[in-house]
Structure 1
Amino acid sequence: MGTHYEGDLRVALLDAAVLALGETGVDGLSLRGVARRIGVSHAAPAHHFGDKVGLLTAVAARGFELFTEHLAEALSGGEADPVAQLPLLTRAYSEFAENYPEHFDLMFRPASVRVEDPEYMRTSGIAFEALRAHLEECQRRGWRGEADSAALTSAAWALAHGIAVLRAHGSLARHYSDPTLDAVEDIAVSLLF
């Protein structure tokens, strides 16, 4: 333990924290355990993140970066009409929750992170603004043009997030016969159009 780490130690600590979260959850995560995973001094995580909440906040901020990239990638490969992309956007939201469950849980768990952290605020703000920009483009094309864009963005976010959480926790399957990602698009269509 405590040997020199080759590579980006901060990134390695974040990756180790995500693995630990998958095994132990937020309550079981410790800075020592994260350091042990990659064979560095137990002081390394504290040096980079301060404390456990600082580490969790950094994981959440990284999650928002991955989330924004994931949504942009999902929208880049097909339908060009932003209105027609709305169900795909909802699907991509659920797909992100499925592929990055540790990040997803922390991103929207204000009791476990420092929501006033500048990097968390920046990355979460970028994600929300990307959604708002997409919906404002939909409005310019005639979809719900009369609606307040902040309210519309919040409603779309709540729809996508609610579906993703219900799906992740298994609740959607109890009330809807097809909880697959394809069905997420169908659910979105039924409400959005």
Structure 2
Amino acid sequence: MEGLRTGHRHFPAKRTIYREGEIAPEMLIIFDGWAFRFKLLAGGRRQILSFLLPGDPISLPLLSNDRLSFSVQSLTSVTACSFERGSFADFVAEHPAVARQAHASCYAAASAADERLTDLGRRSAYERVGRLILELVTRMEAKGLPTGNPMLFPLGQTHIADALGLTSIHAGRVLRRFRREGILSLHRGRLEIMDCAALRRL
């Protein structure tokens, strides 16, 4: 895999990395920083589909497609390892263990999408926000990223709102409720979890 890498790409915060419908000649895997996948609707409305952490490929669909059906934007400053798309796809096809990892990542993404659909359809705003935060912290732990209190957590209430079908004002109310109840506090990109057991019960 190391020999396939063609270099590094650096993106400042809030920079569009891929735009929906563009031809994508390279695969990018995040080395450092956070990003998110999103769809942009008429009038500037945005739906965030998922958040990308260090170690995540920016788009596995590029293994079989030239174009993306969504856009990708850096949430923080991002450094990504770049790979020529065709060579990367050939490498995956020729190495069963890597192919299994790619399939596992696709399955995990599909499972996360199912949970997000359940969020939007049936869970309350309180449950949605709590589950999103817990999901991201769990992913951070699995990747060995720092999760001590307080931890780097660069989502603002607008990002949470756009991911969960809420208004920014409503997302802010929910975050204040969590703080009042002594469960968690999210302020200026720092997250402190005061009662993890209560958060998990959600």
Relative to the length of structure 2, the TM-score reads 0.30
- Tell which structure's C-alpha radius of gyration is larger: 1
More strand by share: 2
